Structure 1
Amino acid sequence: MKVGPLMHVVFVEPRFPGNQKDFVRGLHEVGAEVSAVGEAPLDALGSDLHAWLTCYEQVGSVCDEPALARAVQAIHRQRPVDRLEATVEAHILPVARVRAAAGLAGTSVRTAHLCRDKPVMKDALREAGVATAQSMGGGDASEILKFGRRVGYPLIVKPRAGAGASGTYRVEDESQLAELLPTLGVGVGAEVAVEEFVDGHEAFYDTLTVGGVVVHDFMTHYYPNVLEAMRTREVSPQFITTNRIDTAAPYAEVRDLGKRVIDALEIGTSATHMEWFFGDKGLKFSEIGCRPPGVRAWDLYCAANEMDVYREWAACIVHGRKAQEASRRYSAGIVTLRPESDGRIAGYDGLDRVEARFGESVIDVHLPPPGTPTQPVEAGYMANAWVRMRHPDYDELRNMLDAVGRWVRVRAT
C-alpha cells in the first residue's frame, strides 16, 4: 500500500449530503491526493472542494456502475488511482463492484452485498453464531405469510436494502401484513425484508477498523426507539453518544458482538454502523452498514472526544492506523424539535430559557426561519429544528436534552 502524498484516493459524491466534503478534507489533511466523482457540475462544488481536489468527473448518477467506472478510468489516466471510497449507504455496493473490476483495494463486493441485503446479512451472521432476529427476504406473498404464522406477530417489514427507519413498518397481524404487501410491490417484482419484532432498548455501535481490527469505537443510545421516534409528533426524540464505553461493563458484550460481526462479514479497513437491541431476549444484533452513520452522528463523536473523526477515518484509509486517541471527556447528543403541525414555521418559544440554563453546553442549533415549510415527522432527526449539546456526565446530558424537548415549542401555521 502506498502512504502519504503518494496515495491517490477517488472519493464518490463529495457534495451531498453536506458533510461529505469533510471526508475529502480529512483525506487531504492526512496527505492523500484526492479526486472525486459526483453528480453536481464542477462549478457547484464550492471553493473548499476546488482547493482539495486534483481531478473531478461528473456523472448522471454515481450508482450507474458503467458511468462510474468510466469516470474512475478517466481520472486514472491523469493520475494513477490507488483507492476508491464511498460513505453513503446507496453507493457502497456499486462502488465495490467498480472497485473490484478496477483491481483497487477496499471493501469487497461480498462484504458490501452482505451489508446491504439485510436478510442475506442475517443469514450469514446466524451461521456465524451471532444472535439476531429471525428474518426472511423475498417477493412471494404466500411465503411471507407462512413466515408470519411460524414466527408470530408483530413483524417488521422494510425494503430489502433499506437504511434506518425509512419505509419500515410494524405489522400487528396477518390481515395487516396481507394488506401491506401489495402496496410495497410484492407480487409485481418487488422484494422486502421481513423480521421478527425484537422489543427492548435500541442503540448503535460505530467503529473505524483497519484490517478488521477496531481502532476507534463509539456507543450511542436512542430515546425513544427509532420507529416510535419517526412516527410520533408528540415526542422530541434524541440520540446520545456515551463517554462510558470504556468503563461500563455491559458495553463489553456489545463490543464483542461487534467484533464477531466484523469478522463474519470480513470487513477490512472501513467505517461501520451497527444497530442493536437489548431486552427480554438479551442482546440482539439488528443490522450493519460498512459506512459511517447518518444524521451527522460523527459530528457528535468529534465534539465528545475532542478529535476530528473524519480525519481519523482518512488516516485509517491512507496510513493504515489511527492518528489520535479519543478523549472520552464528554457525552454528546441531539434532540429533535418537531413543529406543532405541518405547514410553515411561525416561530419558537422557550429558546431563551435553554440559553440561560444550558448555553455553555450547546454545540450548535438548527432553527429554520419563520416561513420555512415544515418537514414531516418521518423525515428524520434533522428534518426540522434541533439542538446538539455535550456534557461530561451522561445522565446529566440526558436530563438537559429532555428539558430542551419540554421547553422549546416550534410554532407552525
Structure 2
Amino acid sequence: MNVILLEPSFPDNQKQFARGLAEAGATVIGIGERPKDGLDDDVRNWLTHYEQVASVVDDESVMRAVRWIQDRLWVDRLEATVEAHIMTAARVRAACNIPGTSVRTAHLCRDKPEMKEVLRAAGVPCARSTGATSADEVRAFADEVGYPLIVKPPDGAGASGTHRADDAEDLERAIAASGLAHGATVAVEEFVTGHEGFYDTITVDGQVVHEFVCHYYPNVLEAMRTRWISPQFITTNRIDSASGYDEVKAMGRRVNDALDIGTSATHMEWFSGDKGLMFSEIGCRPPGVRAWDLYAVGNDLDIYREWAEAIVHGCPKRHASRRYSAGIVALRPEADGTISGTAGIDEIHARFGDLIIDAHLPPAGTPTQPVEAGYMANAWVRARHEDFDHLRFVLDEIGRTVTVHAQ
C-alpha cells in the first residue's frame, strides 16, 4: 500500500505515524513544509519519498504535490493526523480520488454547530447550541437559553479561544474578544455542568477496533484558566470492567456512525452530570497532548503501529491489555516570566519513582508559557498504576509537592 502522510515531522510525535506505517509494510511518502535536509535520519529512513510544499493547509500546494506523486505511482491513502490539516487532506482526497475521510465528515468534525445538528437528529444528547455571525445573534441565543454560556470558535480545539459568560456583562466581553466585529463566526452553547472526559477510538470501516476513555481533573476550562491548579487527565483501565463506561462507548459508536467515520482515529469529548451523559465535540484525528503515549503504556501497545495496521491492513495487530491506568499532571510556574528552578522532584522520585513514566522539567532560564497553553506547556510528570484511584492519589501528590519557580 502506498500512503501519503501529511506533515511527517511536526509536531515531534508526527514521525511516529510515519514509523508505524513503514513498520506495517506501507510505502510512505511525506508531504510537509520542512526542507528535505531538515528531516531527521529516522524520518528519512521511514519515508520512500518526500515533497516540500509552502503550506500543508493550502489546498492547491498539497494538491499539486499529490498529483505529482500520482503521476508516478498509485496512491492508496492520504492521511493527516493534526486537527489543522484535516480539511485540506479531505478536500485533496476528493479532488484526487483517494479513499479516506470525506469532506462532509471532516467538515462536520470541525464545525461544532453543524456537527451537533446532525447528532441531535441521530438522537445523541448535546448541549443546546448555535452558530452566530453577529453580536445580536449571540445575544438572542442568550435570551432564549439563559446563562451560563460558552462562546468559542466553531472549529477550535480544546479550550483555545473559549469564553464562559455567566451574565450579560460577561457575554459582552466574550463578544468583544471573539472577533465577531471583524467578520469572525462563533459557536455559542449552553454551559453543561458535570464531569468531563474523552473517548478515543481507532476505527476500521466504521467499526471500533480500539477504544480508550480518559478523565479530566478538573474540567478543561477551569484547568486552563486557574494557575494554582495542577490539572490532570488519566486514561482508565476500567473501561471494559466498570459498567458505567458502556454508555460512553455506546454514545461514541452512535456519533461515529452519524458522522460516517470510516477508517480513522477519533477524539470525542463528553460531559456527565445532572442532565446525564452529553456529547461535547469530536475530531476525526488522534487526541492532542500525546495522550496516545498513555494508551500505549497502559495497554502494552504500540498505538502508532495499531493505527497504521488499521490503515494498511484493516485490522488491529494486538488487543489492549488494560494493565495500567496512566495519566499526566501539569505543573505550573508560580508566575509568568522565566523559570528559575524546580523543588520537590527528588522527594517525588523517592516516593513514586517506579510509577513515573517520564517527566519534563524545563531548565532554569526557560521562558514560561501561559497557563492556557495546555497540559504540556511548561513542566509535567506522567505516571501509571494498576489501580486508577491510587494513580489519582499519586498525581495529586506530585502536583502538591513539586514547585516550579519563576521570576
TM-score past 0.5 threshold? yes
For the aligned pair, the TM-score class normalised by the smaller chain equals over 0.9
CA distance in 2, matches of 1:348, 1:145: 46
* Number of the residue aligned with 1:106: 100
3-state SS of 1:369 partner: coil
Instruction: Give structure 1 stretches of 5+ with no counterpart.
Output: 1-6
* Number of the residue aligned with 1:74: 68
Report percent identity of matched pairs: 65
Q: TM-score, normalized by length of structure 2?
A: 0.99
Q: Structure 1 residue 325 and structure 2 residue 319: aligned?
A: yes
Q: 1:239 aligns with which of 201, 220, 233?
A: 233
* Number of the residue aligned with 1:4: none
Q: Structure 1 residue 364 and structure 2 residue 358: aligned?
A: yes
- Equivalent residues of 2:5, 2:30 under 8 A apart: yes
Q: Structure 1 residue 341 and structure 2 residue 321: aligned?
A: no
Q: Structure 1 residue 299 and structure 2 residue 293: aligned?
A: yes
Give the deviation of 1:127 after TM superposition.
0.7
1:345-399 CA-to-partner distances (Å, cap 9, x unmatched) read: 1111111111111101110010111111111101100000000000000000000
3-state SS of 2:286 partner: coil
- Equivalent residues of 2:267, 2:287 under 8 A apart: yes
Letter in 2 for 1:386: W
* Number of the residue aligned with 1:33: 27
CA distance in 2, matches of 1:398, 1:188: 44
* Number of the residue aligned with 2:400: 406
Q: 1:158 aligns with which of 152, 155, 164?
A: 152
* Number of the residue aligned with 1:143: 137
3-state SS of 1:218 partner: strand
CA distance in 2, matches of 1:71, 1:57: 7
Q: TM-score, normalized by length of structure 1?
A: 0.97
Give the deviation of 1:180 after TM superposition.
2.6
CA distance in 1, matches of 2:176, 2:347: 49
Give the deviation of 1:175 after TM superposition.
2.8
3-state SS of 1:187 partner: helix
Q: 1:64 aligns with which of 52, 58, 62?
A: 58
- Equivalent residues of 1:155, 1:194 under 8 A apart: yes
Give the deviation of 1:176 after TM superposition.
2.3
Q: 2:119 aligns with which of 113, 122, 125?
A: 125
- Equivalent residues of 2:233, 2:328 under 8 A apart: yes
Letter in 1 for 2:187: A
- Equivalent residues of 2:132, 2:186 under 8 A apart: yes
* Number of the residue aligned with 2:44: 50
1:180-227 CA-to-partner distances (Å, cap 9, x unmatched) read: 313322133110000110000000000000010001000000000000
CA distance in 2, matches of 1:57, 1:323: 30
Please provide the CA RMSD for this pair: 0.8
Aligned residues: 407
1:244-271 CA-to-partner distances (Å, cap 9, x unmatched) read: 0000001000000001000100000000
- Equivalent residues of 2:151, 2:187 under 8 A apart: yes
* Number of the residue aligned with 1:377: 371
Tell me whether 76-85 or 115-124 shows the greater mean CA deviation. 76-85
Letter in 2 for 1:298: W
1:133-184 CA-to-partner distances (Å, cap 9, x unmatched) read: 0000121221211110111101001011101000101011123213331332
Tell me whether 14-23 or 175-184 shows the greater mean CA deviation. 175-184
* Number of the residue aligned with 1:3: none
3-state SS of 1:292 partner: coil
Where do 1:162-181 residues align within 5 Å? Answer: 162-181=156-175
Give the deviation of 1:8 after TM superposition.
0.3
- Equivalent residues of 1:208, 1:214 under 8 A apart: yes
Instruction: Give structure 2 stretches of 5+ with no counterpart.
Output: none
Letter in 2 for 1:365: A
